[in-house]
Structure 1
Amino acid sequence: MSLVEYAAILGAGILAGIINVVAGAGTLITFPTLLALGVPPVVANVSNTVGLVPASVTGAFGYRRELRGQWRAVAVMAAFSAVGGIIGGILLLALPATSFSFIVPFLLVIAAVMAAVQPRVARYVRRNAAAHEQADDSTRAVTFGLILGVLATGVYGGYFGAAQGVVLLAMLGILWSTDMNRANGAKNVLAGTANVVSAIIFISSGTVDWRIAVLVGIGSAIGGVIGARIGRRLPAPVLRAILVIVALTAAVILFVE
């Protein structure tokens, strides 16, 4: 790779880190960037997953206060997210690379839709929050349906992962807690868990391009710090529009190829 390509990956990592804090789905920036640079889809996916591990861990740690008194419930959900992440990671490595190349355009379209509808989901959760706050039951017990949903998103996260956080936040906000900060904290833990376990599988498989992983890791860590400080001042609708455009463009390119 040239210095320009290294700089592009680092820059994509920074932007992804910011977007993950502000709107979620930062993978929709890094993954298409790697594809545009000619990185094979499977290598791009596993290297990107490993590179985002530091940001996943710090993101989960940053919401520890919002999860006080809820760690037992979060731990139960995290266990199923881990199982899902393991299944998804194994599927990615076990299935032929052509299978991933075939399915990833559809996943990109789904992820783009999830990123696009995130504001509506957030508004729905906030409206419900107002009603539940009056009843003083903003956080419910973990249900079997929620466990199945967490398991499914874990599989998705281990296999691909773009916009996993958007799906998780919507599901947690509807089925578990209408406290947006608490739901977001749990989302970070669950998505981070699936990310970490799948990254371990990818590392052991020897398919990771460490140049990419390190650059994405450094970039996303920097972006996460920036996003945490100025996230509320950034034009989230513009960033979300970028996510959707990039994802759909990448999907179209892959469909044509």
Structure 2
Amino acid sequence: MSEPFTAALLFGVGLLAGVLNVMAGGGSAFTLPALIFLGLDGATANGTNRVAILTGSLFAAAAFRREKVSRLRRSLAFGLWTLPGAVAGAVAAVRISDAWFQRILGLVMVGVVVSMLLPRHEDASTTTEGTSSWWIYPALLGIGFYGGFIQVGVGFLLMAAFYHLLRMNLVYVNLHKVTVVLLYTLPALAVFAWNGNVDWVLGVSLSAGNALGSWWAARLAVRRGEGVIRLVMILALLLMAARLLGVI
């Protein structure tokens, strides 16, 4: 496979993943298989994907700030709770065999799709700041481990935690989500890089598309509000289902 084609493929996949990760979740369900398809082993694909996740989260956070939607102190407080779990998860990810990683990845992708098919109770009382609940802290610790370990679908988990536990408006759910992911991805990526599980060349191509998709999606989320976020969540579900069924 030629280098220009590989770069173009990863840019396109990264663009799609960036939009999905900001507006809903599940972008890594496309980037990880793409990296494995290009010949990377499971751990290196997992680590290389973090380069794009970090870049996309940074651009999304900057886009939210440019649109004057920011709660940086609160986002950082949430993110700090994910750090211990993220480091532990990344260490676990680089130590398991490639075969086991791909088995777990397959099960996780099925689980994410099934969870999105479950009936969802809509609560109209969501607000910008949300409510307070101590359950959010152990939830973030567990989500941090999951994010550090495999990443796929972590956006859905964070959205569920902020939306259902704190009853927060979906625009601000996504704001906190991208900042939390940005924060815990830093030590997770460091663990993968330290163990030599990052292909920086492929990571740059993937990151370019991810950055553009994330920037555009964050601005769209602010300007169009909760309606467009719900629409993209439905599309994300359909795309993930099609990917699992081998349609795309």
TM-score normalised over the length of structure 2: 0.83
Instruction: State whether residues 86 and 145 of structure 2, in contact with CA within 8 Å, keep that contact through their aligned partners in structure 1.
Output: yes
- Measure the CA separation in 2 of the matches of 1:229 and 1:181: 10
Corresponding position of 1:253: none
Corresponding position of 1:147: 137
Higher helix share: 1
Deviation at 1:211, TM superposition (A): 1.6
Corresponding position of 1:45: 46
- Measure the CA separation in 2 of the matches of 1:93 and 1:218: 25
Instruction: State whether residues 89 and 148 of structure 2, in contact with CA within 8 Å, keep that contact through their aligned partners in structure 1.
Output: yes
Deviation at 1:24, TM superposition (A): 2.3
1:76 and 2:77 are equivalent in the alignment: yes
- Measure the CA separation in 2 of the matches of 1:94 and 1:181: 37
The change in CA–CA distance for 1:194 and 1:115 in structure 2 (over 3 A counts) is farther
Instruction: State whether residues 25 and 115 of structure 1, in contact with CA within 8 Å, keep that contact through their aligned partners in structure 2.
Output: no
1:40-81 Cα shifts (integer Å, max 9, x gaps): 22211110112221111222343454444x72x433321121
Corresponding position of 2:122: 124
- Among 168, 178, 202, the alignment partner of 1:212 is 202
Instruction: State whether residues 89 and 145 of structure 2, in contact with CA within 8 Å, keep that contact through their aligned partners in structure 1.
Output: yes
Count of residue correspondences: 237
Corresponding position of 1:6: 7
Greater mean deviation of Cα atoms: 91-100 or 159-168: 91-100
Counting only pairs closer than 5 Å after superposition, residues 52-71 of structure 1 correspond to structure 2 as 52-64=53-65, 65-68=68-71, 71=73
- Measure the CA separation in 2 of the matches of 1:76 and 1:230: 25
1:245 and 2:235 are equivalent in the alignment: no
Corresponding position of 2:193: 203
Gaps of 5+ in 2: none
- Measure the CA separation in 2 of the matches of 1:63 and 1:89: 28
Deviation at 1:196, TM superposition (A): 2.2
TM-score normalised over the length of structure 1: 0.80
Corresponding position of 1:30: 31
Deviation at 1:7, TM superposition (A): 1.8
- Measure the CA separation in 2 of the matches of 1:80 and 1:230: 28
- Measure the CA separation in 2 of the matches of 1:101 and 1:37: 15
Corresponding position of 2:95: 94
Instruction: State whether residues 111 and 247 of structure 1, in contact with CA within 8 Å, keep that contact through their aligned partners in structure 2.
Output: no
1:116-153 Cα shifts (integer Å, max 9, x gaps): 56xx65x624x242xxx6xxx9622351x211110111
Instruction: State whether residues 35 and 41 of structure 1, in contact with CA within 8 Å, keep that contact through their aligned partners in structure 2.
Output: yes
Gaps of 5+ in 1: 251-257
Instruction: State whether residues 22 and 178 of structure 2, in contact with CA within 8 Å, keep that contact through their aligned partners in structure 1.
Output: no
- Measure the CA separation in 2 of the matches of 1:227 and 1:63: 10
Q: 3-state SS of the aligned residue for 1:208?
A: coil
